[in-house]
Amino acid sequence: MALELLETLGELGFVIQLLVFTYCLFWLYLTFRDLPLMFGISSVAVGFLVFIHGVSVTVLVAAFVFLVLFGMQIQQMLWFGLFPLLGYHVAGDHLISSDEMDQTRLQSTMALYNERAERGLASADEMQFLERHGAMNQMSGGQNQAAQNMQMMRNAGLQ
């Protein structure tokens, strides 16, 4: 069983090397179309690299192709597909929870955490959440509603 698996991996590894070599030949041919000597020399060099130092070069080319061709799609899928599905949005330089962007939800969550803080039950994360959203100032009467809303919008990355 293990031998079969190794054999399969070996065969697939060879095919991947062959595909990478083919792709490199294609690229070299286009690059050195008017310089056959350079095409020949570089083909031998690439063949040596791909088939002798196979694994590292193949991984490098595969990563290059993957990121260059699919980088934008990966970003789109993460930012606008996966993150919203998990309840997060990109807010400038950090991710922000969907809950924090929804004012009604935010106020309910703050009410809950405030109550827990008043009873001494709040965890460190919850206290941090309250501090981040200026709730502590509200408790001490330090901010008016407009300033508090501005702070919320700023925290939510909307300004």
- When the beta carbons of 112 and 153 are compared against other proteins, the nearer one is 112
Per CB under 8 A, contacts with other proteins among 64-83 are: 69-70, 73, 76-77, 79-82
Bridge partner residues of 96 (DSSP): 89
CA torsion angle 114 120 125 130 (round to 10): 30
> Is there a contact between 46 and 24 (Cβ–Cβ < 8 Å)?
yes
- When the beta carbons of 2 and 159 are compared against other proteins, the nearer one is 2
- When the beta carbons of 82 and 153 are compared against other proteins, the nearer one is 82
CB of 84 to other proteins, least distance (A): 4
Residues 29 and 23: their CA atoms lie apart, in Å, by 10
Return the amino acid letter for 135: A
Residue linked to tokens 């008043």? 118
Question: Residue 50: how many CB atoms within 10 A of its CB?
Answer: 22
| Contact between 132 and other proteins per CB under 8 A | no
Q: Contact positions toward other proteins, by CB under 8 A?
A: 8, 11-12, 14-15, 18-19, 22-23, 25-26, 29, 69-70, 73, 76-77, 79-82, 84-85, 87, 98-99, 104-105, 108-109, 111-112, 115-116, 119, 121
